[in-house]
Copies of this chain bind each other. A is one copy, B any other.
């Protein structure tokens, strides 16, 4: 039986699990819906960090060491921007900037982001569906103890230094899910919340009007982005502490309360099976770290098997 899967993804963790899923599912059965709240305009170019990490990872050209950008990258562009007195805090490689220039031009010509993404995916040999959460402009604003700031300012320029108080997704109320998003969710046998940052990667997707309620009509499992209370990448653990959320499987489960049927969490975390079951959740404790392609495939397989079981129980 064909199993239709929708993955909600942010950057690195979401991209890696999506890669694993793309290796095991027929392309027509996998849709990856990606956060665009981090998108921003830089040097007059539209940069979509999460979308690009997902696309580069699925295409097999992502830089494995940095978690952003491309492998075999060169840096003449950025070096020259610096020599011209321009900003260099956001690291744009020469190959990477080609995608931003290409996308910016197509957006200016009136193509929606979802259409540009589809064309880029096709050109890069990606066969599953990759959808931005919305074609409308939504911008994640981080509310911190030093004031509010756009996400990239917080994340890259200030290296997640300010303490987080909360988040705002500007433009979200009037945003519409990108074409295909609700259809994919409605047709999904399983919705996977990838091991991405719950607050700034998954929440913006769920906050697009119609997404959370539609996802909520399906079987939903999440993969915790924390490993032994630490984030594999990015500020999730630091944010949890600043927001007084326990950096545990229970903390993640509570964050997604009302939406979730099952949680996959790391073997480095203490067994939370009983506690989660008391909240009505199935769980799977396994190795969630994805260092190699084999890790990605293995975790994807375990998550899908787990999700299928959860779905069967839900249906019964």
Give A contacts to B, CB under 8 Å: 43-45, 73-74, 76-81, 83-86, 93-95, 97-99, 101-102, 104-105, 108, 119-120, 123-124
Contact = CB atoms under 8 A, between A and B. Distances in A.
Most buried by B among A79, A84, A85, A120: A84
A97 B97 contact: yes
Contacts of A120: 84
Given A95-B76, A101-B97, A84 B123 contact: yes
Nearest to A76: B94
B74 A94 contact: yes
Contact of A101 (B43, B83, B124): B43
A76 B101 contact: no
Nearest to A45: B101
B73 A104 contact: no
A63 to B, nearest CB: 13
A94 B80 CA distance: 9
Contacts of A78: 98
A44 B80 contact: no
A102 B76 contact: no
Contacts of A94: 74, 76-77, 80, 94
Contacts of A81: 98, 101-102
A83 B124 contact: yes
A93 B76 contact: yes
Contacts of A97: 77, 97, 101
Contact of A77 (B45, B84, B98, B105): B98
18 contacts: A43-B101, A43-B102, A43-B105, A44-B108, A76-B76, A76-B94, A77-B97, A77-B98, A77-B101, A78-B98, A79-B95, A80-B95, A80-B98, A81-B102, A84-B98, A84-B99, A84-B102, A97-B97
B85 A123 contact: yes
Contacts of A74: 74, 76, 94
A172 B93 CA distance: 38
A99 B80 contact: yes
Contacts of A101: 43-45, 77, 81, 97, 101
Contacts of A43: 101-102, 105
A93 to B, nearest CB: 7
A105 B94 CA distance: 17
A102 B83 CA distance: 11
Among A77, A101, A102, the most chain B Cβ lie within 10 Å of the Cβ of A101
A45 B105 CA distance: 8
Contact of A123 (B83, B98, B105): B83
A119 B95 CA distance: 27
Contacts of A105: 43-44
B104 A76 contact: no
Contacts of A73: 76
Given A77-B97, A78-B98, 12 more contacts: A44-B101, A73-B76, A74-B76, A79-B98, A80-B95, A80-B98, A83-B124, A85-B123, A86-B102, A94-B94, A97-B101, A101-B101
